[in-house]
Amino acid sequence: MPELPEVETIRRGLTRFLKGKKLGRVEVLCEKSFWGDSSEIEGVVVKEVRRKGKALLVDFENEMTAMVHLRMTGQMIWRSLYDPDLESENNFAAGHPSENFEAELPNKQTRVVLEFEDGKLFFNDQRKFGFIKVMPIDEVVNDDFIATLGPEPWEMSDADFGRMLGKHKQAPVKAVLLDQKNIAGLGNIYADESCYYAGVRPDRKAGAVTEKEARLLLEGARKVMETSIDSGGSTMATYRKADGTRGDYLEKFAKVFRREGKKCERCGGEIVKTRVAGRGTHYCPGCQK
């Protein structure tokens, strides 16, 4: 799924299209993908679009919210009713990369359609792991995912991060970074990139990470995600920034993710792909110890 930088890119994009707009009809094409009562938000104006970790919150003026979690393959695609040019600033698509960004919608992967006066917002999700959940804003803090969500890297000190690692001495560093209860926002791309930044092998036991390495891991988590947000997320976004560029983190900035067999920029070693914590994992054996 989109990780924190992609969800933040989506948040910024959707704010532009949804804030102050009244939601019309909600069409649920897949019951599994929509939790709660859509009538509680139909006809209500969007107040704000927020983000908590990888979860998106579309708040309405009646104090209800639609929480969106894209999981692995979710996409949010805004189609203007009056501008058919998908490349123009009036259209937007982001999330898991696929031809859906340019496809006729709705299609077989469309799970929910949210209709507004000037456009339609399509929630597409190939694997149906994602969902939209309608609930009162004041109950968001009690939601199972939100309630146990750890701090984002910018919200923790080196000491906080070190203590957190210390609670999971036997687990591989990457498994610890991926668990949203420990630290919010990292997924498979940015966990690998953070480990590279710190020079730490993703399969090292968290308990064996030195204080200096821990500091670099936290710094890496912040920097790789900041860099990605600044570049509009990974290649999955067709969202165009004011300067006309689109999300290009993977090609421009990723050092190890999907670069197996290529040369490490830092030491010239060959990047390898293995399996850690049940996930495809990329690192440089030359400079990650």
Partner DNA sequence: CTAGGATCCTGTCAGC
Partner DNA sequence: TGCTGACAGGATCCTA
Closest CB to DNA among residues 80, 180 = 180
Q: How far apart are CA 106 and CA 127, in angstroms?
A: 16
**Closest distance of CB 106 from DNA, Å:** 13
Preceding omega of 153 cis (within 30 degrees of 0):
no
Closest CB to DNA among residues 3, 59 = 3
**Closest distance of CB 228 from DNA, Å:** 8
Closest CB to DNA among residues 90, 234 = 234
**Closest distance of CB 144 from DNA, Å:** 5
Q: Which residue has the tokens 């299609």?
A: 107
Q: Is 54 a catalytic residue?
A: yes
Active-site entry in 11, 12, 47, 54: 54
**Closest distance of CB 134 from DNA, Å:** 18
Closest CA to 49 of 38, 37, 65, 72: 65
Q: Is 136 a catalytic residue?
A: no
Query: How many Cβ atoms sit within 10 Å of the Cβ of residue 108?
Result: 9
Strands (E), the chain: 23-28, 34-35, 46-52, 55-60, 64-69, 74-80, 92-95, 110-116, 119-125, 131-136, 272-276, 279-283
Q: Is 3 a catalytic residue?
A: yes
Closest CB to DNA among residues 22, 36 = 36
Closest CA to 172 of 283, 276, 51, 86: 276
User: What is the amino acid identity at position 155?
Assistant: E
Contacts with DNA, residue ranges (CB under 7 A):
1-3, 6, 32, 53-54, 69, 71-72, 97, 108-109, 126-129, 144-145, 148, 167-172, 175-176, 178-181, 187-189, 206, 233-236, 250, 275, 277-280
The two beta strands, 131-136 and 34-35, are parallel
Q: Is 106 a catalytic residue?
A: no
Structure tokens belonging to residue 153: 């890297």
**Closest distance of CB 55 from DNA, Å:** 7
Kindly list the catalytic residues: 2-3, 54, 279
